[in-house]
Structure 1
Amino acid sequence: MRHHRPVRRLLTAIVAVTPAMALAISGLTASGLSVSGPAPARSHRDGPVLQTFPMTEGPRLASRVTGQTPLRGYAELPPRRTEPFSLVGVTWADPRAAGDGRIEVRTRTAGTDRWTPWQLLETDNPDASGGTEGSRGASDPLWVGPSDGVQARMAGRRLPDGLRVDLINPDTPAQEADTRGPVLERAAMEKAATEKAATEKAAVEAGARSPKLPPRPVPRIVTRAGWGANEAIVKGTPSYTGGIEVVFVHHTASGNGYTCGQSASIVRGIEAYQVRSKGWNDIGYNFLVDKCGSIFEGRRGGVHRSVLGAHTLGFNNNASAIAVIGDFRATGVPAAARASVAQVAAYKLGAWGRPPAGRVSYVSGGSNKYPAGRTAILNRISGHRDAGSTECPGNGLYAQLPSIRTLAGGGPIGLRYQELGGASAYAGKFYTRGLVRPLWTLSTPSRMMDRFEVWLDGRLFAAAPPGNRLSRLQLPAGEHTVAVKGVHLSGRTAITSARILADPAPPEFTAEPQVSLRTGSVTGNGVPVRLSWAAADDNGLRAVRVTGSGRGVLGPDTESFDAAATLGEAGAWTVTAADRAGNTTSASVTRTLAVVPEAGAQRTGTWRTLRDAGHLGSEAAVSANRGAALTWTFTGRSAALVAGRTATSGRVRVYLDGRDQGVVDLRAASARYRQAVWTRMWPESGTHTVRVVVETGSAALDGLTYLR
């Protein structure tokens, strides 16, 4: 409310005339008039819901003492013992009367002799009841917690008639909360979500292309049954208006000295105060939010409907109101409460396609700021003071409205694929065998989302509630666009998409794996071999994997792999080709490595046997005679000549099945033995003859190895 310095000085003058007069008028000293010592402890479940005490005027007494002109605006309720209560307010007879004074109260904590300091009640909120018959003017109520004593005073130039102090006890059995309400609501919501998820899964698996959109999610709300609304005192049936055009944000001005465990009691107290004390037909606000962010259903009629409330004089039609529990004239609301206000505002406005961050032209029905018929340009989320001359919702909360509009009116932020299960990325495109499980994420909290939609090639494929982040699609062969659209409660959207190529066909081997001997060192009993193949896929290979006697993961263009085979043992290799979609095809090959030593060769010319552990089998045939030859005959698929290389070695000529294969130079800068110096392979196994002839220098031949 507006603070009046002259009125404050009146109060100061009255209570400062003399110590005796101060005691007589305000009772500011000890509880010596009607309250003495703590009252016997009584449960807050005892006593009435409503207690009323008239305030009496006392300015003539001050006039006799001071000799000044009588103060026409002073009334008080002396300190007195009461039945238990937790909420206090001051009401007067005519709801249209607007007193210009200050109302202050102080209370005694239940079961003690401790009195609170004087606390100011907010009185500048115009009556928003719409002229309900029998209604009274009133201050905003103040939550004081369990109390059993009260004192009140008011000073000003004009005092309304019929001033009285109203005390509310929200914790009597008649006002007790039915905790089954929110439990039943959660169970119903969980059941509906489970059934909807099952329906969606069945539709997806059946390939449905016209799925139903999930119901618009309702914020997590403590229902009237949940906070213990006294439906017996509610008068008449709810009235409904057109679409919601604006949401007004209020504060209850009931103080911040409460715990969130007391919030339901405060809401019950506000209901009782507005119905029993002010004479309204129900609580005026459509929603209430406590400082911990809990949302409470306000006026009866359905949170999803446009219920006509009593909250903003001249602007109740086509509007909804959210009251934050507390006094925010000097401080802002916590982040949790801010988020809940934004969620409810987006829920109500977005349902009618109204942008929460937008503005609206509203024709006033008549308020103390906009006469009836005048058009007000309002933000879709406005403070009470935007429509009426009032401090509500307090400077602190009012300064936070821009951030609330941003949160309520924002689109989905940071929507992206977290994973495309069943698909893999390659060169900027995704590939799958057919089944794709898109998993998405975003920065916007789920509570601010309406739903997610999954689109396939421009058609709606599936829809999911805001808590879901996963879908399933079975894609036919070909290239597709899979998009996820996030729909905010405000109606704004964001989209993330990906190109996905569905490829159910595996790669093919255009040449089966083959094993051939290759040149190189024979270490121990291991002879160098080469595995070769050719594989292809219409949409490209991703990788090739070799397992068995040799192992390796190779690039998509690789068509050979070097390994070693052990003399006298069968070697087995499996080549697996994988395409970009994850399809695979495998082929295997098995070969046994054998050796024909130099002693098993047919000799021509002069040869001697050299025994040295450095040679294969610890022996080699050595000759320096031009024309000397060794000849081997074998049956196999590949052969390799094993010889020694030294600085004094010469050259040999090789003949295969009688055909000249050329010259092999055995010279080397440093001695190396057990060297496969010449190899050949054939696609099929067959009998072949290899003849080696010395041309120059000397030659040390270990023998011939072959694969069969």
Structure 2
Amino acid sequence: MRTEAGGARAPRGRRARIWLAAGTVLVAGTGAVVALRAGSDTSTAADGPHVVHTSVDSLDLTGSSGERTLTARSTKAFRMLAVSWQDPSVRLDGTVRVRTRSSATGKWSDWQALGAGDAQPDPAERDRAGVRGGTAPLWAGPSDGVQVKADGKALPKGLTVDLVDPGKGGSTTPAMDPAAYAMPGDGEETPTDQPTGPETTSAPEQTPSDSPAETTPAPADSTTETPAESTPPPTPTAEPSQSTDAGTTAPASPSASTSTAPPTSAAPTAPGYLPSLSAAYPSCASASAVPHTVPSPLPAQPPATKVPAPPFVTRAGWGADECARDTGYPDYGHTVKAVFVHHTDTTNTYSCADSPSIVRSLYALHLHQGWRDLGYNFLVDKCGTVFEGRFGGAAMPVIGAQTYGFNTDSMGIAAIGTYTDLSGGDSTASTIVGATPSQAMVTAISRIAAWKLGMSGVSPTGTSTLTEGAKDSSGFTFGKTYTMNAVSGHRNGFATDCPGNQLYAKLGTVRSYAAGPPAGVGVTSVGSASGTARSGTGYVTGTTATVRWSTSTPTSLLSGAEVLVDGTSVAKVAGTATSASITLAPGRHSVQVRATHVSGKTATSAAVTVTADTTRPTYPTAPSAQLGKGTVNTAAVPVTVTWKAADDNGLRSQAATSPTTKTLTATSTSWSATAKSATATKFGLTATDLAGNTATASVTRTATLLQESSAKATGTWTKRSSSSYLGGYSASSGTTNASLTWTFKGRSVAWIASRASTSGAVKIYVDGTYQATVDLKSATTAYRQAMWTKTWSSAAQHTLKIVVVGTSGRPTVTTDGIAVLN
């Protein structure tokens, strides 16, 4: 068994020396000066901020050339594993299956087949001594046991299973949002204490305990840099020094150096100067000062765009141990001409809280396999969190180890997970089933592509040319130039299925998202505080309105949006906003939304008509009240209120406000209410138009109850007593032509009676004229029922007479009197 802490450090060669200025980066080939803000220090000065130590335990597989195994056994704690072998140029022609034991449950997993390794260094990095080949990793979660079976015609030599304990720590939250670029020629200097660049955070450079700490970082315009071929670097022999993020030794104070360096006040202007890395990375106190090389002079580049960087978790944020990598690197290309999209081919059942551990595990595996550093430039999890990958400055054209033969002038983004077809499995081992990449992941990949390609002036929907740099890459010829999509899948530059069919199918969306302009920009509603109101194909609102919109391009890829009223911009908001408040003059207007992509491209929605209405509704028919049918008692006499409300742009709603409240529809013209007997009752109404303007109207009436005792009787009537009757009494008669006559003054009248299955019928006369015959028969018994009503336009003197019909078999009628409304 071999145990390695943090992976192997690769050999170092001779490189041109580069000096650092705390807090600044000049992006290669773009002229963009980037200022970085220091992050918090959560560990010791010896380790640097956020350092999380990992370990890799390697267990040998034994057996014949066609079969190698590792019997089931207990192990040290681990969470990720892969199988590796001695010669990285050899492809494993066979199947590797593993199963792991959960340290939480003690249960063994099903057998799972490991995929082929995804990322690949170029020959210069791959062919060094100690570099190993490897399978795709598997994220197993907390585990303490493993079993491995490898089958094939001729398995590579030196097969081991490598178990990674990523330690605990790291964050999935960027420490700060990326700021804008400060471009030369803007007429402004970039102070180092304000973030103006794409990095999300930086940690303060650590000072050895026997050296005084610098308290004032060098300003952005005082960076001292040494041309790779002309001016010798400063040699700090008499002053305390600091170990830098790139493993380069810089003077603790440029002004205190005894060497003959270029003037510290002169900003680098010649194209041969490599931009400095900042103190964004924690220093490695144990690392030797090893210089590194960059192309010089840098070629002329197209003007950079001002595409902002996405927020991302820095290496310090996810806990990278900068002492573990090869501190003599990175190497840089001239620019980023193409983006290759990968998948890590691990598992999709991870929690996003585990993402920092997954990134650290990949870092440890790549180092264990002898690579200089983590192979990918960026990684993205399924929640859309972006992680900085290979060291060297996220804004820089760092040469990664991700697409064999095409690593120079390209960049690799790895989607954490497996995105092959949505099926898998066989009788002997479960193949990790692919997943559909989440919208958050696709959006995050698009943001990185927009930023990095934007620095080079390359359209994400365009193409770029790359030169094959490997002599043994299948399907490609060494030294030949190939045209590729600016956003390509790994399979476009190497013989592999990566990034899986599910993710590969999303690359068109990535290109569209990254390039802009915004797609699908449309106004979804225009409304006021009272809500959204449509009128035909347009909207009606007050003079203050909220405009809402949507885009099919994710809002995180938009730099801003604005509302146009009659062609003039009246409100500007951030790109992530989907609404804005505006003020309108009364009348009709044309309203649009213009969205701006991070690239600066714009798209404008179709216009919608919005009417700013300040006129209140009207009541062409004033409210009136009449007695209604139903149960009567002294506290509630049925009343029907009628009216008609109108508005030139339409009504939103209506409501009753007294004597009780009730929500009515916009088209309502009547309302069933009640009035208290012998009490003046106000029936109030409110109408609200589409803009929220309101109008009120009301009518006041008094209901009076006249009992049967106040009527003039003919024929035979019997007085009945019950608490169910009005006033406790009623009059009942079964005599044909027996009658009761009430004399009253009012504008509405209702006759009140009791009903039952044996009830008979009456004829009703008003002012001596026959009105109707009312049959009181009912399957259920009911008391105090207003059975018949009549209403006049004004109050007047009237008589109401009921005459018993004498219905055969059920002649009896019982009455409680009448109700009158004035």
| TM category, shorter | 0.5 to 0.7
Task: Encode CA deviations 1:628-666: one digit per residue, 9 max, x unaligned.
Answer: xxxx9x9xxx868999xx99989xxxxxxxxxxxxx882
Q: How far has the Cα of 1:584 moved from its partner?
A: 1.2
For 1:553 and 1:334, the matched residues in 2 are separated by 53
**Which residue of 432, 437, 442 corresponds with 2:541?**
432
Structure 1 CA distance, aligned partners of 2:118 and 2:458?
Answer: 30
What aligned pairs does 1:185-584 form with structure 2 within 5 A after superposition?
Answer: 185=174, 188=176, 218=310, 222-232=313-323, 233-236=325-328, 244-250=336-342, 267-268=359-360, 270-272=362-364, 274-275=366-367, 278=370, 280=372, 282-288=373-379, 296-303=387-394, 306-323=397-414, 334-335=434-435, 342-351=442-451, 352=453, 358=461, 360-367=463-470, 368=473, 369-371=475-477, 374-388=480-494, 390-391=495-496, 393=498, 397-409=499-511, 417=524, 420=527, 422-437=531-546, 450=558, 453=561, 455-457=563-565, 458=567, 459=569, 461-464=571-574, 466=576, 471-483=580-592, 495=605, 498-508=608-618, 513=622, 537-542=647-652, 544-548=654-658, 568-584=678-694
Residue by residue, what CA displacement relative to the aligned partner does 1:453-489 show, whole Å, maximum 9, x if unpaired?
35242436243454x6555445443334555567788
* Contact 2:336/2:410 (8 A) holds in 1: yes
Q: Deviations over 1:267-307 (max 9, x none)?
A: 44543554575353x32211245789875431124546654
SS at match of 1:345: helix
* Offset at residue 246 of structure 1 (A): 2.7
* Letter of the structure 1 residue corresponding to residue 681 of structure 2: G
3-state SS of paired residue (1:335): coil
Deviation at 1:403, TM superposition (A): 1.9
> Does the CA contact (< 8 Å) of 1:413 and 1:494 recur in 2?
no
SS at match of 2:407: coil
Q: Which residue of 2 aligns with 1:603?
A: none
Matches within 5 A, 1:170-189: 171=165, 176=167, 178-179=169-170, 181-182=171-172, 185=174, 188=176
Amino acid at match of 1:387: G
Paired position in structure 2 for 1:195: none
Q: 8 Å contact 2:521–2:595 — kept in the other structure?
A: no
Pair 118,424 (structure 1): closer, same or farther in 2 beyond 3 Å: closer
**1:128 has 2:119 as partner:** no
Deviation at 1:229, TM superposition (A): 1.5
Tell me, in whole angstroms, the C-alpha distance in 2 between the residues paired with 1:289 and 1:478: 50
Task: Determine if contact 1:50/1:166 at 8 Å carries over to the other structure.
Answer: no
Distance 1:47 1:514 in 2: 82
Q: Tell me the amino acid that sits aligned with residue 229 of structure 1.
A: A
* Partner Cα separation in structure 2 for residue 328 and residue 565 of structure 1: 71
User: Which amino acid in 2 is paired with 1:315?
Assistant: F
- Quote the residue 1:89 is aligned against: 84
SS of residue in 2 equivalent to 1:578: strand
Distance 2:357 2:706 in 1: 100
Judge conservation of contact 2:643–2:669 (CA < 8 Å) in 1. yes
Q: Which moved more, 1:369-378 or 1:102-111?
A: 102-111
Q: Distance in 1 between matches of 2:765 and 2:97?
A: 117
TM-superposed CA distance for 1:571, in Å, is: 3.1
What's the offset of the Cα at 1:576? 2.2
Describe the shift of the 1:453–1:333 C-alpha distance in structure 2 as closer, same or farther (beyond 3 A). Answer: farther
Q: What's the counterpart of residue 655 of structure 1?
A: none
Change (3 A) 1:224 1:141: farther
Q: Give CA deviations for 1:507-540 in whole Å, capped at 9, x if unaligned.
A: 35678x5758899999999999997777664534
Question: Residues 364 and 371 of structure 1 are in contact (CA less than 8 Å); yes or no, is this contact kept in structure 2?
Answer: no
Distance in 1 separating the partners of 2:560 and 2:676: 60
Relative contact order (C-alpha < 8 Å, sep 6+): which is higher?
2
Q: Aligned partners of 2:521, 2:692: CA distance in 1, in Å?
A: 29
Shift of 1:312: 2.4
**Residues 5-36 of structure 1 deviation map (CA, whole Å, 9 limit, x = unaligned):** xxxxxxxxxxxxxxxxxxxxxxxxxxxxxxxx
Q: 1:398: how far off?
A: 4.0
Which amino acid letter does the alignment assign opposite residue 463 of structure 1?
Answer: V
Deviations 1:160-198 (A, max 9, x none): xxx978997754xxx75543x445x26x45999xxxxxx
Q: Secondary structure at the match of 1:231?
A: coil
1:23 corresponds to: none
Task: Name the CA distance, whole Å, in 2 between partners of 1:123 and 1:521.
Answer: 83
- The amino acid that maps onto 2:694 is T
Question: 1:522–1:675: 8 Å Cα contact kept in structure 2?
Answer: no
5+ residue gaps, structure 2: 1-51, 181-305, 425-430, 514-518, 716-730, 752-761, 776-785, 800-816
The alpha-carbon deviation at position 505 of structure 1 amounts to 4.0
The RMSD of aligned alpha carbons is 6.8
When residues 383 and 135 of structure 1 are mapped into structure 2, their CA distance, relative to the original with a 3 A threshold, is: farther
Helix, strand or coil for the counterpart of 2:375? coil
Distance (Å, rounded) in 2 between the aligned partners of 1:126 and 1:155:
24
Sequence identity percentage: 25
1:688-703 correspondence to structure 2 within 5 Å: none
2:82–2:161 contact (8 Å) kept in structure 1: yes
Cα distance, 1:78 vs structure 2: 13
Letter in 1 for 2:687: A
Distance in 2 between residues matched to 1:142 and 1:250, nearest whole Å: 12
> Residue type matched to 1:334 in 2?
G
Q: 1:252 Cα shift?
A: 5.6
Q: Name the counterpart of 1:696.
A: none
Q: What is the alpha-carbon distance in structure 2 between the residues aligned to residue 596 and residue 77 of structure 1?
A: 105
3-state SS in 2 of match to 1:506? coil
Contact 2:526 2:533 (C-alpha < 8 Å) held by counterparts? no
Partner-residue secondary structure (3-state), 1:225: helix
CA distance, structure 2, for counterparts of residue 257 and residue 519 of structure 1: 69
Given the superposition, is the C-alpha separation of residues 102 and 548 from structure 1 closer, same or farther in structure 2, using an over 3 Å criterion?
Answer: closer
Matched, 1:139 2:248: no
1:391 maps to a residue whose letter is T
Separation (CA, whole Å) in 2 of partners of 1:620 and 1:474: 63
Structure 1 unmatched runs, 5+: 1-44, 56-61, 63-72, 193-213, 601-607, 622-631, 651-663, 683-688, 693-701
Q: For residues 244 and 473 of structure 1, do their structure 2 counterparts lie closer, same or farther at Cα, with a shift above 3 Å needed?
A: farther
State the shift of 1:402 in Å. Answer: 3.8
| 1:21-36 alignment, distance < 5 Å | none
**Other-structure match for 2:240:** none
Letter in 2 for 1:312: T
SS in 2 for 1:342: helix
| Aligned residue identity for 1:300 | F
Give SS of 2:688's match: strand
Distance 1:465 1:620, change over 3 A: closer
Distance 2:53 2:674 in 1: 94
- 1:594–1:460 CA distance, 2 compared to 1 (3 A): closer
Aligned-partner Cα distance in 2 for 1:690–1:257: 87
Shift of 1:441: 6.7
